[in-house]
Structure 1
């Protein structure tokens, strides 16, 4: 397929080195014009087991760092690990008999490890958030405490927090929490955003309607598939070809400025990465 004359970043994609396609999915992304990836670790229970201590988090993160390095080898650009703790872990732990406070402490310890991987080099950013489904008040409060801990850590090491949260558009309060913990709101990225999210930077799921909404807001945004690399659900959430295809469509529609915003300007502004300089040749 003809190359696209622009960097193409998928801001949130999972690779599963244990059960999934792994680098084969990355090659498909690259074959369709993709150049850069932010690779999120899958939930610990998908790779190893539900994490209850630092050693399990480290095993999960190391697997993701290794598969991301392999992805880096087949891309014309770069792949970066984004490491963290899936907010649904709290429900796994509570179901296994831990109190919400104990689960909070385990998850915060996992974020401590993720921040260490950022500070020491291999990881670009950390991931946190809160459940996207109904939970009781104690679990909700513990989850918010975990997320605020992520903001505090990210402020210390100088990195982005990618957020997994409930749906909706109004997240200004979360951006304010980040600022109160020392993290600029421009370094808070709402994963799986629609095009009109307020507060954090939008990482827009690569549906045409949502991308068009994001363009209309004239604000910084990123694009993602949330590809989960599960052989039982091969196209979920969106397949690895999707972001390059949407970029091609945007360019055909004359949205060159929006493509530059999503794949060059916003990555530089938010993560401090140069998607043009990191392209081969």
Structure 2
């Protein structure tokens, strides 16, 4: 199989319609063989300001939905928004004078709004998590409460949730929290994952070594770049052409099954999307 015969999905990429490359990044992804994107809204303070109310969350989400509509016009497949609240917002809010409990409530409101965007149609899933850096106990507990609220929303709405968390391989407790709230752990996706993970579904950063580990583990996985679309940090974390390049590399190494796992089977199992049915041929016609 060659890359023209398979969907190629980047599971976690940011577009910045205010300050970034936006459409140019999507064009680069498509030119190298990419077909589908899950586009995460950037932290609110990168687009407007640190969100402290519902209207700011809506403004950020609407900007991302618009960017996704532009991306879909370019891609041979399509893009979907994944909307939510970056866990670092808790620190911004506390620095601005809010208590951890007040910050928790604001962030849970943001997740409520994100869930509304999923139930009303434009978004596919939501995003939550907890800080990947050291925080005090009150902030940590507030962050876990926000994340657990996200699990409740995802369970109620029957959709997936992506997580931004600290690094590590054992997130069995987090998966249990989701299941206690009625959400299947397969619908919990740890973004920026390595090739080995216990608990949620792993979204593996498109690093060759980590992908090889993921293949050895022989479990469902997704692939991502976590492209940030920041003109001051071009190519961070990985550039938009990286996932297509890694798919070519995998196919050259006869890892066709792994490519199908990451770009067809796992997206369908986690999000309920059909990357084959939503793929048009490179000539613009439905396959």
- Do the structures match in fold with TM over 0.5? yes
Assess if the C-alpha contact under 8 Å between 2:3 and 2:248 holds in 1: no
Q: Distance in 1 between matches of 2:180 and 2:129?
A: 16
Alpha carbons 2:3, 2:247 under 8 Å: kept: no
Q: 1:249-264 counterparts in 2 under 5 A?
A: 249-264=249-264
Work out whether 1:196 is the aligned partner of 2:233. no
Between the aligned partners of 1:5 and 1:237, the Cα distance in structure 2 is: 27
Quote the residue 1:38 is aligned against. 38
Residue 227 of structure 2: aligned partner: 227
Partner SS state of residue 169, structure 1: coil
Do 2:187 and 2:201's aligned partners in 1 also have CA atoms closer than 8 Å? yes
Q: Is the 8 A contact 2:83 2:126 kept in 1?
A: yes
Output the CA distance in 2 between the equivalents of 1:128 and 1:247. Answer: 28
Structure 1 CA distance for aligned equivalents of residues 83 and 159 of structure 2: 11
- TM-aligned CA distance change 1:3 to 1:193, over 3 Å: closer
In the aligned structure 2, how far is the partner of 1:193 from the partner of 1:47? Answer: 25
Residue 66 (structure 1) aligns with: 66
Deviations 1:173-193 (A, max 9, x none): 000000011111010000000
Q: SS in structure 2 opposite 1:42?
A: coil
- Which SS does the other structure have where 2:141 is aligned? helix
Q: Distance in 1 between matches of 2:87 and 2:110?
A: 11
Structure 2 Cα separation of the partners of residues 97 and 220 of structure 1: 42
Determine helix, strand or coil for the equivalent of 1:4: helix
Work out whether 1:173 is the aligned partner of 2:180.
no
Do structure 1's residue 152 and structure 2's residue 159 form an aligned pair? no
- Tell me, in whole angstroms, the C-alpha distance in 1 between the residues paired with 2:157 and 2:3: 36
In structure 2, stretches of 5+ residues that fail to align are 281-285
Q: Secondary structure at the match of 1:10?
A: strand
- Cα-to-partner distance string for 1:111-149 (whole Å, 9 max, x where unaligned): 000000000000000000000000000000000000000
Task: Give the drift of 1:3.
Answer: 5.3
Q: How does 1:201-216 map to 2 (within 5 A)?
A: 201-216=201-216
Q: Deviations over 1:32-53 (max 9, x none)?
A: 0000000000000000100000
Give the structure-1-normalised TM-score.
0.99
Aligned to 2:265: 265
Q: Provide the residue aligned with 1:6 in structure 2.
A: 6
How far residue 4 of structure 1 moved from its aligned partner, in angstroms, is 2.6
The runs of at least 4 consecutive aligned structure 1 residues that moved more than 6 Å come to none
Partner of 1:91: 91
Cα distance in 2 between the residues matched to 1:77 and 1:63: 21
Q: CA RMSD in A?
A: 0.7
Whether the aligned pair in 2 keeps the contact of 1:43 and 1:86 (CA below 8 Å) is yes
Query: Structure 1: 5+ residue runs without aligned partners?
Result: none
In 2, distance between residues paired with 1:59 and 1:19? 15
TM-score using structure 2 length? 0.97
Q: Post-superposition shift, 1:197? A: 1.1
Contact in 1 for aligned 2:41/2:82 (Cα 8 Å): yes
Question: How many corresponding residue pairs?
Answer: 280
- 2: CA distance between counterparts of 1:243 and 1:163? 20
Instruction: Give the Å deviation of 1:5.
Output: 1.5
